[in-house]
Amino acid sequence: MKRKILILYFVFCVLLLVTILYSVREVVVKKSDLELLDEYGMKYNSKRHAYNIPLLEKNWIVHEIDSSHIFWSDVQRRVDKIEPFHLYKITFLKSGNIYNEKDAFHFETDGGTAYRLMIWNYFNDRSLDSVQFRLITYFKNQYPPSETMVITKEKADSIMFNWKQLSKSLNLE
């Protein structure tokens, strides 16, 4: 009987020790903000380019960073122009590894309608796994003020192409 109790006590202690060591490992191997910026900042643009993901803009700064995400945008971080532009990028992290990246592109018309193209890139083991596109339309002085629809990559590419053409025709680029 004593032997069974000793074996159970030993198993309990080993499981407790493994749990504690795993928890400590999570804290010890946590990447610093500087390591995250180095890994997923401008240096990561080569991988973004290879995956055909929107690049991190050169003039952007980090507005928020912690172990779960990095939020980049220009210094102003606001919509203050009509022409289409890359509004922001958020890199989502889990245990220091990328698992999602969201980009927002914004365009407004003179008539009070604004459009936001959202691109969600999902990663699995640091490789691009899937992509989702959403188009959000904002209506001025209407309720509800917006509508969202999931769109195909082809539709998203068409929207981006048309926005660039419009910018060129209005001499906005």
Select the more confidently predicted residue: 19 or 73: 73
Residues 21 and 79 in one domain: no
Residues 90 and 136 in one domain: yes
Residue 27, pLDDT above cutoff 50: no
The average pLDDT across 112-139 equals: 91
Taking the CA atoms of 86, 160, 104 and 144 in sequence, report the sign of the dihedral they define.
positive
> What's the number of domains the chain is made of?
2
pTM, rounded to two decimals: 0.76
Residues 139 and 54 in one domain: yes
**Confidence at residue 173, expressed as pLDDT on a 0 to 100 scale:** 52
Residues 1 and 36 in one domain: no
Range of the domain at 19: 1-30
**Confidence at residue 15, expressed as pLDDT on a 0 to 100 scale:** 57
Residues 110 and 139 in one domain: yes
Percent of the chain with pLDDT strictly greater than 90: 49
Residues 38 and 7 in one domain: no
Residues 9 and 67 in one domain: no
Per-residue model confidence as pLDDT tens digits over 82-111? 778 999 999 999 988 999 999 999 988 877
**Confidence at residue 26, expressed as pLDDT on a 0 to 100 scale:** 42
